[in-house]
Amino acid sequence: MRKILLGLLILLFIFTPTANSTSHLDGRIIILDPGHGGSDPGSTSCQGLTEADANLEIALLLKTKLEQSGADVRMTRETDETLSNKDRYDFANNNNGEILVSVHLNGSTNPDTNGTQGLYGKKNKDQKFTQVLHQRLASELGVPDLGITNFASGVLLKSNMPATIQETVFISNSDECAKLTNGTGVRQQEIADSLYNGISDWFSQPPPSDGDSGGGPPPGKGKPQK
């Protein structure tokens, strides 16, 4: 009996997909858009770290992680440069992105304020996608859930693919600022990990049936043939 149980356990182990089985990200064209940059630093409420630079750090960590799962990641910027909203959505559209994720940190004059919020543009195109990502951040980052809300940003409205702005946490919050500037990069990685998990959730959904707009990702293409 014990041997049979052991055998069953081994079989279960062999046939249980591993938690990091991420073939659904293979070949996916993912546009990452670190908010602000160049002449626009974003929030400057955290001494020694602009929002623009923190957004870029998080986006680069996210890029690495997505590429390790086979995704084809294109960044609107990889340095501290000034981009217009048009630069961002043109880039996303011209690269045939399947999704667009704008990475931001929120700002407030109150150093106690914290939380995570997702912003969507068009209801059909962006709302469900925004919710899927937001759910991960709200459950994993240990900050208040500020929900998702409609926001008329050109980046969201003029991009052709599901798009979201994720106001991940408040850089103006004293605890967050301390964590983001302690030199370890741990908080940046945690935020990147949650965004990764949300993107992974999105692409592991079944493809939408005909007429079900905004219901899920398009069917997987797998690795592009070379």
Decide whether 36 or 136 has the Cβ nearer to Zn ion: 36
| 34 is a site residue for Zn ion (CB under 5 A) | no
**Where does this chain touch Zn ion (CB under 5 A) — which range of 79-87, 99-107, 179-187, 218-226?**
99-107
| 35 is a site residue for Zn ion (CB under 5 A) | yes
Tell how far CA 14 is from the center of its chain: 31
In angstroms, the CA 69 to CA 57 distance is 19
Strands 99-106 and 163-170: parallel
Tell how far CA 223 is from the center of its chain: 21
**Where does this chain touch Zn ion (CB under 5 A) — which range of 36-44, 66-74, 174-182, 199-207?**
36-44
In angstroms, the CA 194 to CA 209 distance is 28
Subset of 123-162 contacting Zn ion (CB under 5 A): none
| 104 is a site residue for Zn ion (CB under 5 A) | yes
Using CB under 5 A, count the residues that bind Zn ion.
Answer: 3
**Where does this chain touch Zn ion (CB under 5 A) — which range of 37-45, 70-78, 148-156, 191-199?**
37-45
**What b/e sequence results for 20-57 when a residue is b if at least 16 CB atoms lie within 10 Å of its CB, and e otherwise?**
eebebbbbbbbbbbbbbbeeeebbebbeebbbbbbbbb
Q: How far is the CB of 140 from Zn ion (least distance, A)?
A: 20
Q: How far is the CB of 106 from Zn ion (least distance, A)?
A: 7
Subset of 39-58 contacting Zn ion (CB under 5 A): 42
In angstroms, the CA 186 to CA 188 distance is 5
Run of H or E residues at 99: strand 99-106
Binding site for Zn ion (CB under 5 A): 35, 42, 104
